[in-house]
Amino acid sequence: MNTRLFTHPMVFLILAASAACTRVDEPVPPAPAAASEPDHGEEAAEPSDLDQPIAQLLAQTCEHHKKMFECDECRFEVGVARAPTSLTDEGLLTTVTAERRKVAVPIALTGEVRFDERRVGHVSSQVEGIVKRVHVALGDAVVAGQPLMEIESVVVGEAQADFFEAQGMRQLARRSLERVSALRSENIASEKELLQAQRDFDAARIRSDGAMGKLKRLGTDYGGEGRLTLRAPMDGSVLVMHAVSGEVAKTDESLITVGDNTRVWVWADLYERDIAQVTLGQAAQKLAASVSVKAYPGMAFPGTVDLVSPAMDESSRTVKVRVDAANTDRRLLAGMFAAVRLYLPGLDETLAVPRVAVLEDEGRSFVFVHLQGEFYLRRPVVTGRTWEGWVEITKGLQAGQVVVAEGAFLLKSDVLRSKMGAGCAD
């Protein structure tokens, strides 16, 4: 959901008006029991705007001597909401045209959520040692090159000692070469002595460079007194942490995982009987998918199939399918089991609108249809099949009508003030 919705002035007024109509300081009295027969003085309940024809709704006038749908104080009684152009200009409210679409055929699979390996880095030590200090915590934001932890290692200590020794020999050989070169320039040293001094210096330099190269391969330098500093390989956050101070760090274990999990992979198992249709469908276009997990019942996370494995698992006789899914709110966690639905292109066409366009009130489905200018009228619809973020409309709409998609709940909040009007009176 777009968080800007709750900071927009129009949105604030709509929600505030709804909240103002709810008394929190007085108990709500129980509803009176319904009488078997109304008294002669009782009035029949007013029909809902969802039950009245559009022409009848638009013809009604209010006590302010205006067309009711144009009156800011009364329009909600006929199911009309007003959406300023600022909402659409800022992308807080979008509209779509109801149109006929092909009904996608779903295939149900099971899978597991994993990190997108292109977006994460697993940090491990190249040598065994003891974790002496941890600089970050799980969930911390990090930048590439930032120190994550320090490991004390005998191997690193020995490598640093070898480097210091090689550096000392190099400096000694350099001074010897300078001395012999000076003597040779005065014809005191022989050419042979100069060549030997040059060879000794070259050998010392090679050894020193080799010792420094070993330190770099270990991920450290000549400082640190036998400690290895592990650094973040990329920008991101600490997603997984296995290391604690005092723990033994082994070369075959990942100590920290760093990266970006705003997109994840969901690996699903495709059975042999479905391989042909999925492969053919993927060849025509990337197949849409939806992912569901037990942690968030009723929610579906959209995704796209970006890989059908070229190899089959011989034991399970399944092929791995990889779904790339957006995870901007980080609700999908690596390791979760998931129910995956792949949507194959079908041949059947039907009238459809986005799911977010269809709202409910007391068990009845409705959408907001564009009336004129900034005005939208809610109308009842009957829904059918759902797929890939779309819902079939079997009754209540015609192709070409413009309906509100994103932000429709704002208009619902505005219209339903009519239900809370009695609570506003003192």
Strand partners, 96: 403
pLDDT at 124: 86
pLDDT at 46: 63
pLDDT at 291: 95
pLDDT at 295: 94
Q: Is the dihedral of CA 149, 241, 303, 2 positive or negative?
A: negative
Taking the chain (426 residues) in consecutive chunks of 10 residues, what is each chunk's mean pLDDT?
Answer: 49 45 39 45 62 84 82 82 81 88 87 95 86 90 91 78 85 89 85 88 89 78 73 92 84 89 95 90 88 92 93 91 94 95 84 91 89 88 85 91 88 70 40
Domains of the chain as residue ranges with CATH: 3-22+46-102+350-424 (2.40.420.20), 105-118+261-345 (2.40.30.170), 120-151+229-259 (2.40.50.100), 154-225 (1.10.287.470)
pLDDT at 289: 92
**Which residue type sits at 101?**
R
Quote the CA–CA distance of 258 and 230 in Å, as a whole number: 12
Judging by beta carbons within 10 Å of its beta carbon (0-12, 13-18, 19+), is residue 103 exposed, middle or buried?
A: buried
DSSP 29: P
Q: Cβ distance 392 to 386 under 8 Å? A: yes
Neighbours of 132 (CB within 10 A): 17
Write down the H helix ranges in 78-190.
Answer: 85-89, 154-185
DSSP 254: -
pLDDT at 386: 83
pLDDT at 47: 72
CA gyration radius, the chain: 36
Of 264, 258, 166, 261, residue with least CA distance to 215 = 166
pLDDT at 418: 55
